[in-house]
Amino acid sequence: MKLTSKIYIAGHRGMVGSAIHRYLLSQGFTNLIFKTSKELNLTLQNEVEHFFEKNKPEYVFIAAAKVGGIYANNEYPAEFLYNNLMIETNLIHSSFKHGVKKLLFLGSSCIYPKMAPQPIVEEALLTSSLEESNKWYAIAKISGVMLCQAYKKQYGANFISAMPTNMYGKNDNYDLENSHVLPAMLRKFHEAKINNSNQVTLWGTGTPRREFLHADDLAEACLFLMLNYDGEGFLNIGSGEDISILELAEMIQKITKFEGKIVWDIDKPDGTPRKLMDISKIKNLGWEYKIKLRDGINQVYKEKFLLN
């Protein structure tokens, strides 16, 4: 990649896509192209095909997806499966048809089996059953990985995939029904504090363990892989460290300075008991995360709730 290479970021307004955008600009890349969802509907093949024919990007980052937490996945299974299948299929096929030099598809750690041995190695994919609460999204993301591998195998296309762990960062989704656990907690604790509530109610038991990575670290990893990796297999991207949901709640409680109590609604689902990814492959290539979890949460809390 040259600094003047034409680079298309799909999903540039989302948390991950915007982080990739910022990072590429910081590294001196000058020829970035993108479209909002109103300007380009990625679920429509004709629109995507026309965009590629007209703009002819040389490199593509696929950070566009319909995402959400446990509630959203349970409530809108058809949307999660259909929309994500269409987005990735249209982007990957059009990239092949129009001679994209290299493509990076971003999947999700939810592609792994619910009871995969920990930490999860890339080879665990499709070895047993998925977590029921987000299997629709997972199946779509698995399909994207397989598409990249298929186009590489059949046509020699340089399409690679990476599996990020649970993400947080600037431009995250804080909707209480559709967001992931960390931003949902930040909003709940912040609103409880400013409303002088005496408690915050959280889903589940607090015992599941999760790994988190700041979107800025992921953006750095994405460019690193674009410059340094051409393999057929996908790579995990994460911190290599996990924390219980209870510990996360207590950390956020301190960061937001909420003085009430935490109540756990044990009738609500926990999801996968533990999800920690083995990051030895990308680490061996020379990449490691930089932003510690407490520092990162402090940063996004100030940006979202204290500086606005």
Residues designated catalytic: 137
Can you say how many angstroms the Cα of residue 186 is from the centroid of all Cα atoms in its chain? Answer: 18
Q: What is the 3-state secondary structure (H, E, C) of the chain?
A: CCCCCCEEEECCCCHHHHHHHHHHHHCCCCCEECCCCCCCCCCCHHHHHHHHHHHCCCEEEECCCCCCCHHHHHHCHHHHHHHHHHHHHHHHHHHHHCCCCEEEEECCHHHCCCCCCCCECHHHCCCCCCCHHHHHHHHHHHHHHHHHHHHHHHHCCCEEEEEECEEECCCCCCCCCCCCHHHHHHHHHHHHHHCCCCEEEEECCCCCEEEEEEHHHHHHHHHHHHHHCCCCCCEEECCCCEEEHHHHHHHHHHHHCCCCEEEEECCCCCCCCEECECCHHHHHHCCCCCCCHHHHHHHHHHHHHHCC
Q: 158 and 285 in contact (C-beta within 8 Å)?
A: no
Q: Taking the chain, what is the end-to-end CA distance rounded to the nearest angstrom? A: 37
Q: 39 and 102 in contact (C-beta within 8 Å)?
A: no
Q: How far is CA 165 from CA 132, 169, 231, in A?
A: 18, 13, 20
Q: 102 and 159 in contact (C-beta within 8 Å)?
A: yes
